[in-house]
Amino acid sequence: MTDETNDRDPRSRRAVLRDGAVALAVLFVVGGLVMVPAIQRDLQHAVNDALDAEGIVARADFRGQDGTLRCVDQLDDPEAAREVAAAVDGVRSVRLDQSCLVPAEIGPEGPVEGQRTTTTTVPASSTTAAPTTTVGSTTSSATSTTVPAEAVVSVTLDGGRFTLEGIVGSNEQRAALEQAAAAAVGGANVLGSLAVDTDLDLDDADVSSMAVVIGAMPVPLVRGAVSWTGADVVVTGVYVDDAAYDAFRAAAEGSATLADLRLRPDATPADAAAMQQELNELVAATPIVFGKGEIVVSPESADLLQQVAGIAKRFGGVAVEVQGHTDSEGDPGRNLTLSEQRAAAVAAELVRLGVPSDDVTSKGFGETELVLDENGVEIPEQSRRVVFGVTTS
């Protein structure tokens, strides 16, 4: 064996060891990617079983071994629920979503320990630049979204529309938020305006984070607001269901603090009746448009469907029937088929825009329910319509 061969052997052994270490690292990472979701699922099932056994109406989700409990209604004893979940083998920590907490536990210092996230407030003594005009706290119905009182700029989603309020630091920041909102719901569904204060200490990175959240909001949320408080980007809102919550959290985490996200409430019969009236008034004022003889919704109705979807997913426990009608022109059998296909097309669009598929059905009536004037003469353009029936399920 030559000296040259002897010199190469140590280098070859080092290369083998190096490649082996890299391979082990890759296996470790891939194994982690496979195992972590399985651990999360196992813990979620185990904790939910433990909660059910104690008669506690709450549900857990996990990231690794760290869990969050979420509730439809506030718990009488949220700490007991947390203790039941934390006692499950393999759980490292458990936090309580604000939806589980009774109002008395949320005081001047914010939610009690155990809430998933909190809204960061800017102390009066803070040196963070804050203009004199801020976005006030706003709340409304059972599906309300609260904008933090300390918000400097806020973009609020409601009824498929975004409303922009407050102050940003530049024209470019204003344009970024306006464009993100328009891309998400259509320009006609962007309301309000933003003022510019070039002395405002608002980072472009925070504006970019808000834009990411804006893009993620319309499908999974019923209502929501993303705000900059002078220190943090904060999200509040009402989500459609667990799958929507998970999708929104995955899209928004890392960009904002999820301060208060609550599950939409179930509708009462009065809620369902009000929803039906609101939907039908909306499409009476601006009908959903199809091309003549076509079953595909016209692009000019895209903004309208955003609003329809925003209303239709407001409550759980509803059955929204999309009802298609035609005029009397042409063959009755073909008209019936056309009305069925158009109703189904609208229903499919609503599902695409975030209305749960279990909430939506469609039905065609053809020319059986024509719209007539006071003399009993058909009004064809009004007979051709899509309307809605809403009941509790």
CATH number reported for the structural domain that contains residue 330 in this entry = 3.30.1330.60
Residue at 180 is within a domain: yes
The answer to whether residue 56 scores a pLDDT higher than 80 is yes
Which residue reads 């102050």 in tokens?
A: 167
Residue at 101 is within a domain: no
Asked if 153 and 232 touch (Cβ cutoff 8 Å), the reply is no
Percentage of the chain modeled with pLDDT above 70: 77
Q: How confident is the model at residue 20 (pLDDT cuts 50, 70, 90)?
A: low
CA distance 47 to 61: 9
In order, the DSSP letters of 155-220 are EEEETTEEEEEEEESSHHHHHHHHHHHHHHH-GGGEEE--EE-TT----HHHHHHHHHHHHHSTTT
The residue type at 52 = D
Same domain, 281 and 200: no
Higher-pLDDT residue of 258, 347: 347
Same domain, 11 and 132: no
What domain range includes position 8? 3-86
Residue at 111 is within a domain: no
Reported pTM: 0.65
Same domain, 20 and 139: no
Same domain, 370 and 355: yes
Which one of 212, 236, 263 terminates a domain? Answer: 263
Same domain, 211 and 278: no
Total domain count, the chain: 3
Which one of 263, 289, 310 terminates a domain? Answer: 263
Residue at 114 is within a domain: no
Residue at 200 is within a domain: yes
Same domain, 284 and 225: no
Radius of gyration of the chain (CA): 27
Q: What tens digit of pLDDT does each residue of 242-295 get?
A: 999 999 999 988 898 887 899 999 999 999 999 999 999 999 999 998 877 788
Same domain, 167 and 209: yes
Residue at 365 is within a domain: yes
Same domain, 226 and 283: no
Which one of 224, 246, 263 terminates a domain? Answer: 263
